[in-house]
Copies of this chain bind each other. A is one copy, B any other.
Amino acid sequence: MQEEIKRNYGHIFEEELLQEINDIGVIKQVNSGDELIRTGQYLSAMPLLIDGVIKVMREDEDGFELMLYYLEKGETCAMTLSCCTGSAVSEIRAIAETESRLLMIPIEKMEEWLGKYKSWRNFIFDSYHQRLMEMVSTIDTIAFKKMDERLLEYLRNKSKHYNDSEIKVTHQDIAFDLHTSRVVISRLLKRLEKTNRIKLNRNSIKLIDID
């Protein structure tokens, strides 16, 4: 039994299921920046994240992007899952933001386990629930908030997921994730710096007081 499977999933899955996961799952190692899922891709396996941070985003026809949410260890992506089951193509794009390790589970198994293990069922439902809530929260910020608030939320969120008050990112990166322009982000960041809420450096932003 792989140590990490137990560590990340041991408290939610029963022994028998853990054993099956161990036997069947294939570990996949990816580097920072690797594309895990392309929009329009067919999917035949769903990933359980063991380690790392995955960024999930939405693309429109013109290739413009908007970040949806991050995935962390112990999580899976209901979005992928949703596509798997319907054997439909992916509606999203997923990029590894850090070096990551995933456990790939073939779809047939995921279906089989749904009937067989209550814990698996709960895990999958929980995953759906979490994603739905993230989506709602994303809609909230886009619909109700102005860009300055969205930017703040972005910084908070990123800081939380990396567990670091220093964020390594360029203004252009942020602009892509929030689907706006670099100039707008620079402008707003500068304003935040002037009010002493952040400290700007080349390729990095230090959060000081953003709550």
User: What residues make up the interface of A, taking CB atoms closer than 8 Å to B?
Assistant: 58, 60, 64, 66, 68, 78-79, 82, 85-86, 91-92, 114-115, 118, 121, 125, 128-129, 131-133, 135-136, 138-140, 142-144, 179
Are B91 and A136 within 8 A (Cβ)? Answer: yes
Q: Which residue of B has the minimal Cβ distance to A62?
A: B144
A-B contact pairs, 15 of them (CB 8 A): A58-B136, A58-B140, A58-B143, A60-B140, A66-B143, A68-B139, A79-B132, A85-B125, A85-B129, A86-B129, A114-B121, A115-B118, A128-B132, A135-B136, A139-B142
Are A139 and B66 within 8 A (Cβ)? Answer: yes
Number of copies: 2
Chain B residues lying within 8 Å of A143, measured Cβ to Cβ, are 58, 60, 66, 142, 179
Q: Which residue of B has the minimal Cβ distance to A121?
A: B114
Q: Which residue of B has the minimal Cβ distance to A145?
A: B60
Q: Which residue of B has the minimal Cβ distance to A61?
A: B144
- Given known A-B contacts A115-B118, A121-B114, A144-B64, A135 and B139 have beta carbons under 8 A apart: yes
Interface centre among A64, A66, A82, A143 (most CB of B within 10 A): A143
